[in-house]
Amino acid sequence: MKVLLITTLYPAFPTQSRQQMSYALHDFAKNWVSMENEVQVIKIMPTYPTLFNLFMKSKIADQLNHSKSFTIDKVNVTRVPVRKYPKLNYQSKDIIHSVKHITSILSHNKPDVIVCHMMNPSLYIASLIKKQFKIPLVFSLHQTDINHLQNSQHKRYKFNNILHNIDKIGFRSDMLKEAYIKLGYCEKDTFLVYSGINKENIISGEKVKEKINRRSRVIFIAASMRKRKNIDILIRAFAHLKSFPNTVLKIAGDGPEKKKLIKLVRDLDIWNNVEFLGYLEHYEVLHHMEQADVFAMVSSSETLGLVYLEAMAKGCITIGSKGEGIDGIILDGINGYLCKPRDINDLRLKLIKALNGEFKADIVNNAVKTTKQMTQYYLSEKYLEELKKLHIIYERNKADS
């Protein structure tokens, strides 16, 4: 099968770090290629007039302003620049220009299906390409897309005008699907597009038993230190755990809130029980998860958060946020706990339950069991099945007409 993936959420060059850009969609593309499918990725690259690039290193900005083809893990990627003025909508002429460029790239290798992630401007581009090639279009919504539909009448008007061109809609979490339906849209022809974890990161049954029987009390969080991660709420809840004097809170990550968080720990007089680990590489985060008993992150506006799944896979009692992306995967009291994002007392109570070991064996075993159905390869297969079914239906309808 030939899949065309159009999105802004893709590395712009082969060596771009995972700190700079999410590789979540690349993991799908990489797995589809390993399943003997052809995948062409169009990385939409918003480019700004020279004046606005003064804040970037000029050489890097100049490179990214040009179209370029490259490969990452055997996935073919073409970076396509689209001109953008800050705080203004993409102009039609720039969208059309990018569409001409993309269709020329595809002229000798027509795809079977278009997969599009992110609405602005990727969906507008994908919709026009669908018309030219007369192939099905699958659009997957992210939190940013829902925000646009909720808060911008103009963007909602544009989306409504091309909704008929979309053959199937995917959602990165259950919560996004619910938000979409609340906006008055139909749930027909929709499905869920979860990201998954590496199978190798799931701990063995022997290690699960070790963690269940262990009596240490280590709470761990790995997150960028930004307001929406609500790390301050975790620190304040932790400060109330006076009945657990030997408990340690380990905080991995870096970001603009770091100085405030360090000051908060000092002000609450819990410095001796809190460790700031700084930025950790991914393998280091996984190591700390394996050593920890509880993973707690009650962030707001979280699409899914693979870090929760990774913590569950490492046998942590995992605490996430109600009404966010992990809600529906974590079932409160079954395979983890959920609490309100900025409710200190709610989080404190869930931490006490976790540290007291209430139903620890059941929760840890259920958590690990959950992640075995959420490996990246397995979920890539499920995603591909949706694309194949749609392609078959599309071809059948063409033959009948």
What tokens appear for 388 in the block? Answer: 């194949």
Neighbours of 224 (CB within 10 A): 16
Element spanning 130, H or E: helix 124-133
Cα–Cα distances (Å) from 70 to 1, 7, 43, 80, 344, in that order, read 21, 16, 11, 12, 47
The model's confidence at residue 225, banded by pLDDT at 50, 70 and 90, is very high
Q: pLDDT, tens digit, for every residue of 86-117?
A: 878 899 999 999 999 999 999 889 999 999 99
The model's confidence at residue 334, banded by pLDDT at 50, 70 and 90, is very high
The model's confidence at residue 61, banded by pLDDT at 50, 70 and 90, is low
Whole-number average pLDDT of the chain: 92
Alpha-carbon torsion angle 373, 376, 380, 381, nearest 10: -40
Q: Hey, what amino acid is at 89?
A: N
Environment class of 238 (CB within 10 Å of its CB; exposed 0-12, middle 13-18, buried 19+): buried
Section 371-385 average pLDDT: 96
373 three-class SS: coil
At residue 25, φ and ψ (nearest 5 deg) are -75, -30
What tokens appear for 283 in the block? Answer: 């393998």
Element spanning 263, H or E: helix 258-267
Smallest Cα–Cα separation from 218: which of 354, 350, 345, 320? 354
- Distance CA(136)–CA(342), nearest Å, equals 42
- Model confidence at 58: pLDDT above 50: no
Cα–Cα distances (Å) from 135 to 36, 116, 168, 224, in that order, read 20, 13, 12, 40
Q: What is the pTM of this model?
A: 0.84
Position with higher pLDDT, 86 vs 355: 355
Cα–Cα distances (Å) from 292 to 134, 276, 328, 357, in that order, read 52, 15, 23, 14
**DSSP-assigned letter for residue 316:** -
Contact in structure between 113 and 387 (CB atoms under 8 Å): yes
136 three-class SS: coil
What tokens appear for 83 in the block? Answer: 């001109």
Section 331-358 average pLDDT: 94
Q: pLDDT, tens digit, for every residue of 62-80?
A: 567 789 999 999 999 999 9
Section 370-390 average pLDDT: 96
| Residues whose CB falls within 8 Å of the CB of residue 103, separated by 6 or more in sequence, listed in order | 129, 132, 133
What tokens appear for 397 in the block? Answer: 């309808």
Of all residues in the chain, what percent carry a pLDDT higher than 90? Answer: 79
pLDDT at site 63:
61
pLDDT at site 6:
98
Contact in structure between 309 and 201 (CB atoms under 8 Å): no
- Distance CA(233)–CA(185), nearest Å, equals 35
- Distance CA(245)–CA(348), nearest Å, equals 15
Position with higher pLDDT, 60 vs 254: 254
